[in-house]
Amino acid sequence: MDFLALKSGSDVRGVAVGEDANLTPEVVQALGSAFVVFLSRRKGLPCEKLTVALGRDSRVSGPALLDATAEGIAGMGAAAQDFGMCTTPSMYMATVMDGFRPDGTVMLTASHHPWKLNGMKFFTAEGGLGFKELTEVLTIAQALPASGGIRGKIERKPFLPHYADSLKRLVIDGVNPDVTQPLLGLHVVVDAGNGAGGFYAELLQSLGAWIDGSQFLEPDGHFPNHVPNPENEEAMASLASAVLRVGADMGVIFDADCDRAAVVDRQGREINRNRLIALISAILLENDPGATIVTDSVTSSGLAEFIQEWGGVHYRYKRGYRNVIDEAIRLNEAGIDCPLAIETSGHAALRDNHFLDDGMYLVTLLIIKAMQLKQQGRELGSLLDGLKEPVESIEIRLPLTTANFALTGKQLIEQVMDYATRQSGWRIAPDNREGVRIGFDLNGGLNNGWFLLRLSVHDPVMPLNVESDVPGGVKTILSQLAGALKHAQGVEVAPLTDALGR
């Protein structure tokens, strides 16, 4: 078994159901054992002195894989705590919450991906394992040492109610510490997508909110109603329809393990991607003017202007939620005030919450603000007034065809960068930190179009994002870029050509 083939960024991911399954009970058992060895080496403690907690989302493969992982942990002599169904953020919070504080935790989830897939995320009190640390765990699993013959215990220990209580306290303190139901009068529709987040509706109800219209709260590992993904058009449309049908103040939606989220406002307007970044940025910048907001590289020019108008600094960085989080942590350590790291996919990590990408924490802050604004006769969506959005946008994925696709992608970026320096009207973005981002002045305007060409975090693909503030601008940019790629080797440009023909 090639354990390194299961690596997907800083997570483990594989097929868990069917004849082609590669994330089997035997595999996760070995990975559970390997994580114990990893922790033992890091902490300088014998395996039998360690405790590791486990949780899972609603996937059909979850119970069996959790049991197998627990067996792997106990087989190395460590104690295994079975938290049952949980959210990914709650598994980290257990490492720092009084009464728990295991040495490490494991979450079994594949986020928004199809139900046949599953995966593993590993945490310590320092946060989620990074790319290098995960490689170390996988390498240990590849050549797993024999156990010492001491078997640890496995116990069930529900944790989710404790995590929910921490969110309730956040709301009470944020709205009115003198009452137990501070959300009376607020109507929120919750869409859990049949993932692990259905309990959030009951949490809001206990705080006084009206949750009529909430949907898909029951866990169902086949995700029968829609993909649990805040970026999915069908999922967002379903939530918007529910909000409009019952006349709610807002709606919230989570992915299967609740580390990502999005909302819709009273008018059913989707607030995800750039809008979500703008909304939470505005809330934070009200109390922290001048702060730096770290985002991934595909955010729009309008968002950058919006953050600046709110008194903040927009700092674009690489795609990948671990990348933006790690960069925000680095900036803070360098003395730069940076309260937020957020990716357009909905991963949002706040400094006040251990820089943990926690969709429920994010949504809870938005609900607190929505309640405060309602008491003033305003709506949450009003904070987005002034956000300029592109007239046109498109994402095209250009497949790389060489075995060493990473090298090919790097060479292609260098080729386009060199081409840009020789073209009138091509302006290399000053905050270009991933791939190549080029700005354009279209139809006599100024800085009203751009493209970003980069290498995918995981796949042999070059994603190409293009935005324009004027009609027809996307095709103008694509036609110019086609000239730069005319003689490119190792990349399929047919998707770009197809887009020009539409």
Give the model confidence (pLDDT) of 107-137 as tens digits. Answer: 999 999 999 999 999 999 999 999 999 999 9
478: which residues sit within 8 A by CB, 6+ positions away? 451, 466, 496, 499, 500
Residue 406 DSSP class: H
Mean pLDDT, range 437-441, rounded to an integer: 97
Is pLDDT at 28 greater than 80 in this prediction? yes
Residue 502 pLDDT level (bands cut at 50, 70, 90): confident
Is pLDDT at 148 greater than 80 in this prediction? no
Is pLDDT at 150 greater than 90 in this prediction? no
Q: In this predicted structure, what is the pLDDT of residue 29?
A: 97
Is pLDDT at 1 greater than 90 in this prediction? no
- Coil, strand, or helix at residue 463? strand
- Decide if 207 contacts 159 (C-beta within 8 A): no
Q: Which domains does the chain have, with CATH numbers?
A: 3-158 (3.40.120.10), 163-384 (3.40.120.10), 392-501 (3.30.310.50)
- Decide if 91 contacts 157 (C-beta within 8 A): no
More confident residue, 149 or 22: 22
Instruction: Dump the DSSP string for 331-382.
Output: HHHTT----EEE-TTSBEEEGGGTTEE-HHHHHHHHHHHHHHHHHTT--GGG
As a whole number of angstroms, the distance between CA 326 and CA 10 comes to: 12
Mean pLDDT, range 333-340, rounded to an integer: 98
pLDDT digits (tens, 9 = 90+) for 205-222: 999 999 999 999 999 999
As a whole number of angstroms, the distance between CA 39 and CA 35 comes to: 6
Query: Which conformational region is residue 52 in: left (phi greater than 0), alpha (psi within -120 to 50 degrees), or beta?
Result: beta
Name the residue among 23, 18, 19, 159 with its Cα closest to residue 91.
159
> To which residue do tokens 């009115």 refer?
176
Mean pLDDT, range 39-63, rounded to an integer: 97
Residue 9 pLDDT level (bands cut at 50, 70, 90): confident
Is pLDDT at 397 greater than 80 in this prediction? yes
pLDDT digits (tens, 9 = 90+) for 378-388: 999 999 999 99
Q: In this predicted structure, what is the pLDDT of residue 221?
A: 96
pLDDT digits (tens, 9 = 90+) for 443-487: 999 999 999 999 997 789 999 999 999 999 999 999 999 999 998
Residue-level length of the chain = 502
As a whole number of angstroms, the distance between CA 321 and CA 332 comes to: 17
Q: How do beta strands 313-316 and 292-295 pair?
A: parallel
Which stretches of 172-278 are assigned E, i.e. beta strand? 188-191, 250-254, 261-264, 270-271
- Decide if 92 contacts 127 (C-beta within 8 A): yes
Average pLDDT, the chain: 96
Share of the chain above pLDDT 70, in %: 99
pLDDT digits (tens, 9 = 90+) for 277-332: 999 999 999 999 999 999 999 999 999 999 999 999 999 999 988 999 999 999 99
Q: What value, to the nearest 5°, has the Cα angle with vertex 395 and ends 191 and 476?
A: 140
- Integer-rounded Cα Rg, in Å, for the chain is 23
Q: In this predicted structure, what is the pLDDT of residue 312?
A: 98
